[in-house]
Structure formats: structure tokens, C-alpha cells
Amino acid sequence: MFIDSIKKVYEKPSYLILSALIAIAVFIFAVLLPNFSLIINLLGLESASLFQKLKVIFSLFGSIKTNFTVISASYTILIAILFGVNVSMLIYYIKSRKGTIKIKGSGTGTSLGGLISGIFGIGCAACGTFILSAILGLFGATGIISFLPLGGEEFGIIGVLILVYAIYATAKKIQAPNVCSS
């Protein structure tokens, strides 16, 4: 059932391209997130050439090795891919039902939940550079992270699980026949 849905969606190359573009966008965002200030600074520099600026930005992608643990790098890549797949499947589902679907239960909320949870897990939890630290810090609760066995990486893993569930739920809906319900 799950494989059939995937095949159905990716029969059309446009969905494959869409998934890839979304996955790349999420990945770029996740890796460059800690250094947005640097990038904004660089882009505003008049004395550096565009080539130099691009070289700096591209070199920051190497931080997937240095600024992530094996676990956080893995779930960052997974979240990007799964989110791309999930959005494509959702769009396919909405289009294929030609507008007969109910808004409730379309799976969008679960997908977004997965992405939000994933974003919370981005960064170095142990060093306070990830987003969850900043949010907890607003409430003076950063110390909570030190009690988590994986130091906050749990949120990224939860993000992956929610996205897998969202894809499964969407796949099930794609396969379900069009029926009138009371």
C-alpha cells in the first residue's frame, strides 16, 4: 500500500523534482541556520566580490561534518528528505481528490509538527547553539537539556518519527477509495 502510493506519486517527474527542491531547501536552511548573521554581514560587504561571498557560503556546508554529531547530521538529512516527500504526497493527494477532501485530517498538521520538531533539534544542544536552547532560555529552563539523555537530539529524532507517520498516513489516504461519508 505504502509503496504503491509512492509509485503513484513519483510516476510524475514533477513530484520528484518538487521533493528534491524542498529537501534541498530544508537542508540548506538547517546547515546555514547558525550563521545567518554572518551571511547577512557578508552579503552587505562592498569590498568582497560575489565569488568570494559565495565561496564562504558554500564552505559553510562543510559544517555538517564539524558542527553536527553523527546523530544530528543523520536526522537533519532525513528530515529534509522526508519533508520533501511528505509535502509532495500531500499536494498529490489534494490534487488527486479534486477538492473533495476534508480539510481536517489532510495530514498537513502532522507534517508541520514533524518539521517543527526537527527544527527544534537543529544545532548543538550541548553547547546551547540550537533553537530549542534559545526557546527554553526565554523561560530560564535551558538546564532541562542537560537532563535529556541525548542532550536535546531527541527532538530531531521525534521529528523524523512524526514525518514518517505523516507520510504513512498520507499514503494510506492516497490509496483509500473515494467514498461519500455521512
Burial (CB count within 10 angstroms: exposed 0-12, middle 13-18, buried 19+), residue 155: buried
In the complex, least distance from residue 10 CB atom to another protein, rounded to whole angstroms: 18
In the complex, least distance from residue 156 CB atom to another protein, rounded to whole angstroms: 14
When asked if residue 127 is in the footprint of another protein (CB under 8 A), the reply is yes
How many residues touch another protein under the rule CB under 8 A: the total is: 63
Give residues in contact with another protein (CB under 8 A).
29, 33-38, 41-42, 45, 47-48, 52-53, 55-56, 59-60, 62-63, 65-67, 69, 87, 90-91, 94-95, 97-101, 103, 106, 108, 111-112, 115-116, 119, 122-124, 126-131, 133-138, 140, 142-143, 145-146, 151
